[in-house]
Structure 1
Amino acid sequence: MNDSNWLERLSPILENYQIKPYFVEDFGSVLKVYSNKGTFALKKITPTTGTDFIRHVHLLYQKGYNRIVPIYPTMDGRYAVLHNNELYYLMPWMSNELKEDRVHRNQQLFRELARLHTLSAKEIDVSKEERTEHYEKTIQQLEKHQEFLEGFIEECENKTYMSPFELLYCLYYNEISMALRFSKERFEDWYEETKDSEKARMVIIHGKLSSEHFLYDDRGYGHFINFENARYGSPIHDMLPYLSRSLETMPKRNNDAIGLVQHYFKYFPFKQDEKLLFYSYLAYPVPMIQCVEGYYRRQDTKNELKFVRQLQRRYWHLKNSEYVVTSMFEMDKQQQLAKEGAQQQ
């Protein structure tokens, strides 16, 4: 779309802010608008997404958290404009030109995430029946996955000639099962820790945590953007997707990931039950299981090369997750032993 078309299309929206656009740059889901009142970011979302996230943003501001890119109100006080069945909201444009190394930027991101979680934390009521129901359903799912893995390896081993995928799966089977067993054990530990509790800690989660959604202003302060998925939930729901994506590499000892988690814990320590649940979910080899199930259920001709490559990548992810989880779990055990030893003395 050329510039005159953009100006014609956006002028009715920006009139609500008494802004006259001069020039527009398209950055995908965000438009950079040069205008008579400065430079702005105009974001488009679907009406079904709704504007509940604005309520969460305002709640955080009320609690003293201001590291969120502000959303400007229209002249009549609305925080979004409906135009041609699309919702638009307006923010200042962030320069995001801070020249820092990736590790330092990610540490700032996790420190601000911890502050966000700290300021919005609250306890909610969870009945023992709800907790038990969640536990039983999850255990049932874990056992169902283990049964599938065992059934598939028996089927593979009974063949005279295995396919390349089946052979690779047999090589990986023990490690997949170990990860699943570790996940189940931590989940059982979590239930033992919490089965008599009727409270759970909730925070406002960003919902789409990414270094791309943490921008810097001209003064070097970082701010969150893309809050459309914000909601109250467990802090784990911000941590897990970010970590899982960061572990999608070739096998390596990802001490940077461990460092980020520890950095976050300095400002927002997880309770023991939250840690157990975090370890359980992070160790759960869901990507591997989904890959194997996809191969097993494929009825037509299978693309062996495609499935083998996919299984290989998922295995790398499993090993990277294993290193992070076991390292942090062992650190916790050592700290607990040291604490018990100090108390005995």
Structure 2
Amino acid sequence: MENVRGILEAFRVYPVEIEKYTDRVYYVKSNNQTYALKKSILNNDTLPFWHDVYRVAQAENLQHIIPVYINHRGDLYAGNENEVYYLTPWIESHHRSLFIDKVYQTLGYIHAKTRKIHTLTESSREQSRESFLIYQKQIYDLRKALLGHVELFESRHFMSPVELLVCTQYRDILKAFFLMDRRLEQYLENQSTISEWQVCLCHGNLSGSHILHGERTFFINWERSKYDNPIIDLSHFLKDRTLHYDNEGEALLSKFHNYMDENKLLIHELILLCIYLMDPSQYLQAIERYVNDSSEDSTINQVIQLQRLHRQLLFGIRFSEFIEAEYEMVSLDESSEI
């Protein structure tokens, strides 16, 4: 706590109460104000990007990005190169449930306000195509590996809970592979027509713990921020929600228009988002850890993890079907025949 008090003095904050809220966040109360002090993961490489978030937030008046206080030297942080701390207002999040429409709207607003359009060269398109062809081959290899695991599990007289679960889920995972392959073909067919690429300020780690609902919706912890295509934030948010919750799928689909109203994505971006959401790599990695006996988790925890990853992939399938119904003028079946 003495180290924390020393950090707070750099911001000219003299606390009457300090409470360790998480491993990296402290609740701080002074005579007339409350603060959140964050011990960050920032370093010399990532500090410039983090600084840029607040420069952009000020220039664009992005009030949904929670501000940070300046210390007595005019810096946005205090500490040293090994321990970087920053100070923000403490926001009481009044609602335990996530307002999905508000999150979509806020995220779309930030993306739209910081959007930049890059013109793609023939060389960059060709490099991207090569990367996707490599990825397509990796997906094919993962499908073969999954089949091999299922055949091995089914050959055993008694299957373990993990093996039984994988065999039970196999049909769903195979559907994800099938749709993924068609989406990759669709993206590759249209890649030559993509002349521009949208980039914007992305949070980089948009999970539920980094979203607060106070007077407005706030996004906190911009330590992994970067300029990238907006589907990076959307895929991270959607994967996080469907990994941990099984009752939000319908709302995540029906309220998606709140994002599109603020920052409309093009068809090739929606296709790419579908690909991100149906990526089966983590599911196969979990099986590989089980097969190689390299997982440190108990059997029950391995089952829980597979259930969660299965739920993610089921949502990816639903999202792909939703995009086809709501935003694509040509169905996925017809587009594959063109």
- Pick one of 263, 276, 282 that aligns with 1:281: 276
Aligned equivalents of 1:310 and 1:148: distance in 2?
19
- The one of 24, 30, 33 equivalent to 1:38 is 33
Q: Which amino acid aligns with 1:273?
A: H
The equivalent residue for 2:157 is 161
Which of 10, 15, 26 is the matching residue for 1:21? 15
User: How far apart, in 2, do the equivalents of 1:272 and 1:16 lie?
Assistant: 49
Give the distance between the partners of 1:309 and 1:88, measured in 2 at CA. Answer: 35
Range that drifts further, 118-127 or 272-281: 118-127
For residue 123 of structure 1, report the CA deviation from its aligned partner.
2.0
Matches of 1:228 and 1:87, distance apart in 2: 11
SS at match of 2:61: coil
8 Å contact from structure 1 (residues 204, 232) kept in 2 = yes
1:72 positional shift? 1.3
Q: How big is the shift at 1:236?
A: 1.3
Q: Which amino acid aligns with 2:293?
A: R
Q: 1:286 to 1:23 in 2, by over 3 A?
A: same
Query: Which residue of 259, 267, 271 maps to 2:254?
Result: 259
Provide structure 2 residue ranges, at least 5 long, that are not aligned to the other structure.
332-338
- 1:243 maps to a residue whose letter is L
2: distance between equivalents of 1:35 and 1:304? 47
Q: What residue identity is the alignment partner of 1:272? A: I
- Report the secondary structure of 1:90's partner residue: strand
Amino acid of the structure 1 residue aligned with 2:147: E
1:146 to 2:140 alignment: no
Counterparts of residues 289-308 of structure 1 (less than 5 Å): 289-298=284-293, 307=302
TM-score, length of structure 1 as denominator length? 0.81
Aligned amino acid, residue 260 of structure 1: K
CA–CA separation in structure 2 for the residues paired with 1:27 and 1:160:
48
Q: 1:106 aligned to 84, 100, 103, which one?
A: 100
Deviation string 1:18-38 (CA, Å, 9 cap, x unpaired) is 332222122122222222563
Written as runs of structure 1 = structure 2, the 5 A alignment for 1:109-258 is: 109-126=103-120, 127-156=124-153, 159=155, 161=157, 163-164=159-160, 165-217=162-214, 220-248=215-243, 254-258=249-253
Are the aligned partners of 1:216 and 1:222 in contact in 2 as well (CA < 8 Å)?
yes
**Quick check: 2:25–2:38 contact (8 Å CA) kept in 1?**
yes
Provide the identity percentage. Answer: 24
Residue among 241, 257, 263 paired with 1:268: 263
TM superposition score normalised by structure 2? 0.83
Per the TM alignment, residue 264 of structure 1 is displaced from its structure 2 partner at its CA by: 1.3
| C-alpha displacement of 1:75 | 2.4
CA RMSD of aligned residues (A): 3.0
Q: Which moved more, 1:187-196 or 1:231-240?
A: 187-196
Q: 1:15 to 1:114 in 2, by over 3 A?
A: same
Find 2:57's aligned residue among 60, 67, 71: 60
SS of equivalent to 2:286: helix
Q: CA deviation at 1:232?
A: 0.9
Amino acid at match of 1:82: G
Q: In 1, distance between residues paired with 2:246 and 2:68?
A: 41
Q: How big is each residue's C-alpha offset from its partner over 1:258-294, in whole Å with a ceiling of 9 and x where there is no partner?
A: 1232321121121110000111221223343223322
User: Do 1:60 and 1:120's aligned partners in 2 also have CA atoms closer than 8 Å?
Assistant: no
How far, CA to CA, are the matches of 2:126 and 2:166 in structure 1?
Answer: 39
Query: Structure 1: how far apart are the matches of 2:156 and 2:223?
Result: 53
Q: Distance in 2 between matches of 1:196 and 1:152?
A: 39
Equivalent residue letter for 1:25: E
Larger of the two Rg values belongs to structure: 1
- C-alpha deviation, 1:255, in angstroms: 0.8
Distance 1:253 1:67, change over 3 A: closer
Opposite residue 110 of structure 2, the aligned amino acid is L
Paired residue total:
323
Of the candidates 88, 93, 105, which is equivalent to residue 91 of structure 1?
88
Structure 1 residues not aligned, in runs of 5+: 1-5, 338-345
* Alignment CA distance shift 1:36-1:156 (3 Å): closer
Shift of residue 228 of structure 1?
A: 0.8
Matched residue type, 1:293: E
**How far off is 1:13 after superposition?**
2.2
Inter-CA distance 328–47: structure 2 relative to 1 (3 Å threshold): closer
Give the counterpart letter for 2:260 in structure 1: F
Contact in 2 for aligned 1:121/1:201 (Cα 8 Å): yes
Amino acid at match of 2:114: S
How far 1:223 moved relative to its partner? 2.0
Q: How far 1:180 moved relative to its partner?
A: 0.8
